[in-house]
Amino acid sequence: MDYWDLFLYLLLWYISLPLQNLKKQKITIHDISKALKIDSSTVSRALNDSSRVSLKTKQKILDKAEELGYQRNILASNLRTNKTNTIGVIVPRISRSFFSSVISGIEDTAQNSGYNVIICQSFESFEREKKIMNTLLSNRVDGVLISISMQTTSFDYLKPYLDYGGPIVFYDRPCSFENCSSISVNDYKASYTVTEHLIQSGCKNIVHFAGPQIIDLYKNRKQGYVDAIINNGLEFKESYCFESKLAEEDGVAFAKKIISMENIDGVYSSNDTAAIGAMQYLKFMGVKIPEDIAVAGFNNDPISSVIEPGLTTINQPDFEMGKIAANMLIEQIKNETTNKESKVLDVELIIRNSSQKN
Amino acid sequence: MDYWDLFLYLLLWYISLPLQNLKKQKITIHDISKALKIDSSTVSRALNDSSRVSLKTKQKILDKAEELGYQRNILASNLRTNKTNTIGVIVPRISRSFFSSVISGIEDTAQNSGYNVIICQSFESFEREKKIMNTLLSNRVDGVLISISMQTTSFDYLKPYLDYGGPIVFYDRPCSFENCSSISVNDYKASYTVTEHLIQSGCKNIVHFAGPQIIDLYKNRKQGYVDAIINNGLEFKESYCFESKLAEEDGVAFAKKIISMENIDGVYSSNDTAAIGAMQYLKFMGVKIPEDIAVAGFNNDPISSVIEPGLTTINQPDFEMGKIAANMLIEQIKNETTNKESKVLDVELIIRNSSQKN
DNA sequence: CCCAATAATCCAATCGATTGGATTATTGGG
DNA sequence: CCCAATAATCCAATCGATTGGATTATTGGG
């Protein structure tokens, strides 16, 4: 008989094994409700500090919640209130220092306003961007901040989210779509300034590394370059413009072309990454910077101050842009309105040795 | 009478105004259910491709869902199934290139396995880390990947999440806590290798920029340095070890000290950031690298190949680490088990000019 | 001590999807 | 054509928190 007992005991133990690995049941308001014999609605109100609950009861409930280790189930709360207190951020790549600063700004503001942030990388892929937008909609984020990918030309994929009533704010790469707000820097003016700076430094034949022209941002940067060239009495040549995605390899490839062109004495790249690729190759080939060829970039990546010579570039208020973008979005979420608004921030020309011929 | 009609019309229009800004009601399975006179449970099963629904009905439901623009409400689904298909990632800073590569690896694996990723930055703050962990628990993420902050010494704040049954995997900065898995590189061995390389290159008095010694990772790196020094017949001096958070400014500050020490001929920094800060200052002061002082770092930041001379450093399999970490976590989520496992990856010494005296 | 006014608490429905079990419809062998 | 076996569909409860309205308890003036 003792053996039988032992057997039963072992059997029960064996059966219970898989259960030990299951997620423990979390404490809910109903547990508190039962423990105190107080209706769960009152518990809910107490936990939300409602004035409909007496101080005495509130304290009892809070104490019990603490004691049981209660943790509000946000999923249930969100479902009921139809809010998630979460904003989605779509970013081309977080590894670009510009974007990671913007994100820090966004997080800063969001946290102060009680919002969570979901960061998603599109890796400059349109397909990925569409998928992300879908996920964000499914997750019912309260708003979306987006910097579109270099491939994005159609914006229909944003429709479902807008129809749902979620606000969207474009940052860095603005685009005129429906009544969405946007925040960016004055790319045209910045570009004009850098180009003029190169000209004043003595450049006569300046090539331009342009980004994808389907993106307004890069179109504006190119236009700034074009106008500065023309307004300063130089001749604009389309053959001096190289379009690419501005990766480091693109810069290297363009540098090769430039060397074969022989008369080039200046480079203005739409970002630092490509500028640095070009500089590395030019230096490797014995071209003197800035004496033979002056170089300027855009973004003020940390790397631009480390390379030799230091790279002249444009510094953008990245952190601030993130803060403002988040503020604009949260404003719209709270007001449940969508009054279009386009903010444009000013930038700063950082002059280093790469551009100073004299 | 016509005026009255007009008045009524305007009144109705005015009343409806605020409604226009409200979020539109989304289509639910019940809308599909009503439209087709099919029970919502069948609709749900059809949308989940259950075998309990006939092909014909399934098609009808899918068509109607498409037609109405149905979008599954993930919140409701998650609440019911007690799963979120989301993993949380806590990272000190996304702007560090090492971490952004790890994240890319994590996202890659996660996406392939159907998981969403929430990225949260602790900015090396313990307080922030605790808050984030709380948010992740409240949001009931299915698992957490964490690289602890430089301030983290106590791990009690992880308890509630572990009690809840959520798995945690440490990456990059492992720590022996309960039965949590971890993945990291062989910091000790890497450190030993770099240090020995500096010695073989002719360095006799090598200082070490150490990270916070409360973090195992930095302890291991220091130990590798110490042992390499001793095993190669040099004298270890505690005064040659400078502890800091390894920011660029720290590197600059240490460089100042080094110059005043006069006999130093080598620097091994626990990260590239501080190494580069030091290099910049040393170069500025006219110290020749590597002839006067050889320098080596850790991480292989992009910047390390751009600075002159190129910085000798350790390349870690960052992207791979992210992939493996995510895989380990997802494995645990699926199996609902937590068998502790510590993976250690190997690294690669990248020799550039900053360390080659001869 | 009574009763109206106010405060505190409870009831019951709801958010949208999922799921075990019950019921109804269909199939096919005899 | 009948009926057992199987397929397809429906019923009803559930996940956990919230909320408008109903009910009960308390307060305080007379």
Determine the residue type at B198: L
The number of residues making up chain A comes to 358
Determine the residue type at B65: A
pLDDT in tens, B313-347: 999 999 999 999 999 999 999 886 667 889 999 99
Please indicate whether, in this complex, the C-beta atoms of B306 and A280 are within 8 angstroms of each other. Answer: yes
- Quick check: B142 and B115 in contact, CB under 8 A? yes
DSSP assignment of A5-28, as one string? HHHHHHHHHHHHHHHHTSPPPPP-
Helices and strands, number each (H, E), in chain A: 13, 12
Determine the residue type at B87: I
pLDDT recorded at residue B67: 96
What is the distance in angstroms measured between the alpha-carbon CA of A43 and the sugar C1' of D30?
Answer: 37
Radius of gyration of chain A (CA): 29
Tell me whether residue A109 is in a domain: yes
On whether both A200 and A291 belong to a single domain, the answer is yes
pLDDT recorded at residue A211: 97
Q: Rounded to an integer, what distance in angstroms lies between the CA atom of residue B259 and that of residue B300?
A: 25
Q: Rounded to an integer, what distance in angstroms lies between the CA atom of residue A276 and that of residue A265?
A: 16
Q: Rounded to an integer, what distance in angstroms lies between the CA atom of residue B295 and that of residue B197?
A: 11
Of the candidates A72, A107, A130, which is a domain's last residue?
A72
Output the 3-class SS for B61-111. Answer: HHHHHHHHCCCCCHHHHHHHHCCCCEEEEEECCCCCHHHHHHHHHHHHHHH
pLDDT in tens, A144-158: 999 999 999 999 999
Tell me whether residue A67 is in a domain: yes
Please indicate whether, in this complex, the C-beta atoms of A75 and B24 are within 8 angstroms of each other. Answer: no
All residues of chain B having their beta carbon less than 8 Å from the beta carbon of residue A26 are 164
- What's the helix, strand, coil split of chain B in %, to 5? 50, 15, 35
pLDDT at B268 over 60: yes
- The sign of the CA dihedral A9, A10, A13, A14 is negative
- What's the helix, strand, coil split of chain A in %, to 5? 50, 15, 35
Of the candidates A15, A45, A72, which is a domain's last residue?
A72
Tell me whether residue A28 is in a domain: yes
Of the partner residues A107, A138, A307, the one whose CB lies closest to the CB of residue B71: A138
Q: Rounded to an integer, what distance in angstroms lies between the CA atom of residue B210 and that of residue B225?
A: 10
**Whose CA is closest to B298, among B149, B123, B151, B97?**
B97
- Quick check: A324 and A183 in contact, CB under 8 A? yes
Tell me whether residue B229 is in a domain: yes
**Whose CA is closest to A293, among A266, A268, A311?**
A266
Determine the residue type at A107: E
Tell me whether residue B49 is in a domain: yes
Tell me how close the Cα of A234 comes to any Cα of chain B, in angstroms. Answer: 33
- CATH no. for residue B141? 3.40.50.2300
Of the partner residues B24, B103, B336, the one whose CB lies closest to the CB of residue A163: B24
What is the distance in angstroms measured between the alpha-carbon CA of B131 and the sugar C1' of D14?
Answer: 31
pLDDT recorded at residue B24: 62
Average pLDDT in the B215-224 region? 96
B101–chain A Cβ distance below 8 A for any pair: yes
What's the structural domain count of chain A? 3
Of the candidates B18, B50, B72, which is a domain's last residue?
B72
A75–chain B Cβ distance below 8 A for any pair: yes
pLDDT at A260 over 70: yes
Average pLDDT in the B6-23 region? 48
On whether both A92 and A235 belong to a single domain, the answer is no
pLDDT recorded at residue A131: 93
pLDDT recorded at residue B8: 53
What is the distance in angstroms measured between the alpha-carbon CA of B71 and the sugar C1' of C13?
Answer: 24
Please indicate whether, in this complex, the C-beta atoms of A101 and B79 are within 8 angstroms of each other. Answer: no
What is the distance in angstroms measured between the alpha-carbon CA of B330 and the sugar C1' of D9?
Answer: 36
**Whose CA is closest to A340, among A181, A116, A164, A160?**
A181
On whether both B134 and B216 belong to a single domain, the answer is no
DSSP assignment of B201-265, as one string? TT-SSEEEEE--TTSHHHHHHHHHHHHHHHHTTPPP-GGGEEES---HHHHHHHHHHHHHH----
Residues 6+ apart with CB under 8 A from B171: B102, B145, B146, B147, B182, B183, B184, B321, B322, B325
pLDDT at B16 over 50: no
The number of residues making up chain B comes to 358
Strand B266-269 to B294-296 pairing: parallel
Please indicate whether, in this complex, the C-beta atoms of A73 and B138 are within 8 angstroms of each other. Answer: yes
All residues of chain B having their beta carbon less than 8 Å from the beta carbon of residue A135 are 116
Structure tokens at B57: 């009905």
Tell me whether residue B34 is in a domain: yes
Minimum CA–CA partner of A335 in chain B: B21
Tell me whether residue A77 is in a domain: no
pLDDT at A217 over 60: yes
**What's the mean pLDDT when you consider all of chain B?**
92
Q: Band the pLDDT of A24: cuts 50, 70, 90.
A: low
Tell me how close the Cα of A3 comes to any Cα of chain B, in angstroms. Answer: 32
CB atoms within 10 A of CB A44: 18
* Closest residue (CA to C1') to nucleotide D26 in the complex: A54
Average pLDDT in the B48-59 region? 96
A302–chain B Cβ distance below 8 A for any pair: yes
* Closest-approach nucleotide to residue B61, Cα vs C1': D9
- CATH no. for residue A24? 1.10.260.40
pLDDT at B79 over 90: yes
Kindly report whether the peptide bond that precedes residue B290 is cis, defined as omega within 30 degrees of 0. yes
All residues of chain A having their beta carbon less than 8 Å from the beta carbon of residue B82 are 23
pLDDT recorded at residue A178: 74
On whether both B290 and B141 belong to a single domain, the answer is no
On whether both A330 and A262 belong to a single domain, the answer is no
On whether both A175 and A198 belong to a single domain, the answer is no
Helices and strands, number each (H, E), in chain B: 13, 12
On whether both B274 and B163 belong to a single domain, the answer is no
Structure tokens at A113: 């306003």
Q: Rounded to an integer, what distance in angstroms lies between the CA atom of residue A208 and that of residue A296?
A: 10
Minimum CA–CA partner of B99 in chain A: A95
Please indicate whether, in this complex, the C-beta atoms of A138 and B73 are within 8 angstroms of each other. Answer: yes
All residues of chain B having their beta carbon less than 8 Å from the beta carbon of residue A107 are 121
pLDDT recorded at residue A2: 58
Tell me whether residue B77 is in a domain: no
**What's the mean pLDDT when you consider all of chain A?**
92
Chain A interface test: which of B23, B103, B300 (most A C-beta within 10 Å): B23
pLDDT recorded at residue A22: 47
Average pLDDT in the A249-263 region? 95
On whether both A207 and A308 belong to a single domain, the answer is yes
Q: Band the pLDDT of A128: cuts 50, 70, 90.
A: very high
On whether both A335 and A295 belong to a single domain, the answer is no
Q: Band the pLDDT of A72: cuts 50, 70, 90.
A: very high
In this structure, the protein residues whose CB atom falls closer than 7 angstroms to any atom of nucleic acid strand C are: A 37-42, 45, 51-57, 76, 79-80, 82; B 25-26, 28-30, 40-41, 44-45, 47-48, 52, 70, 72-73, 76-77, 79-81
Q: Rounded to an integer, what distance in angstroms lies between the CA atom of residue A26 and that of residue A22?
A: 12
Residues 6+ apart with CB under 8 A from B101: A95, B318, B319, B322
Q: Rounded to an integer, what distance in angstroms lies between the CA atom of residue A157 and that of residue A179?
A: 15
* Strand D positions closer than 7 A to protein CB: 7-21
Of the partner residues A119, A123, A336, the one whose CB lies closest to the CB of residue B119: A119
* Residues B233-263: b if buried by 16+ CB within 10 A, e if exposed: ebeeeeebebebebebebbbbbbeebbeeee
Please indicate whether, in this complex, the C-beta atoms of A75 and B79 are within 8 angstroms of each other. Answer: yes
A138–chain B Cβ distance below 8 A for any pair: yes
On whether both A251 and A145 belong to a single domain, the answer is no
Residue indicated by tokens 């008045």: B7
Q: Band the pLDDT of B3: cuts 50, 70, 90.
A: low
B137–chain A Cβ distance below 8 A for any pair: yes
Please indicate whether, in this complex, the C-beta atoms of B72 and A138 are within 8 angstroms of each other. Answer: yes
On whether both B89 and B58 belong to a single domain, the answer is no
All residues of chain B having their beta carbon less than 8 Å from the beta carbon of residue A337 are 21
Of the partner residues B22, B73, B160, the one whose CB lies closest to the CB of residue A69: B160
On whether both A129 and A211 belong to a single domain, the answer is no
Taking the mean position of all CA atoms in its chain, how far away is CA A20?
Answer: 42
Of the partner residues B69, B75, B100, the one whose CB lies closest to the CB of residue A94: B100
What is the distance in angstroms measured between the alpha-carbon CA of A151 and the sugar C1' of C15?
Answer: 38
Domain encompassing residue A296: 187-316+350-355
A306–chain B Cβ distance below 8 A for any pair: yes
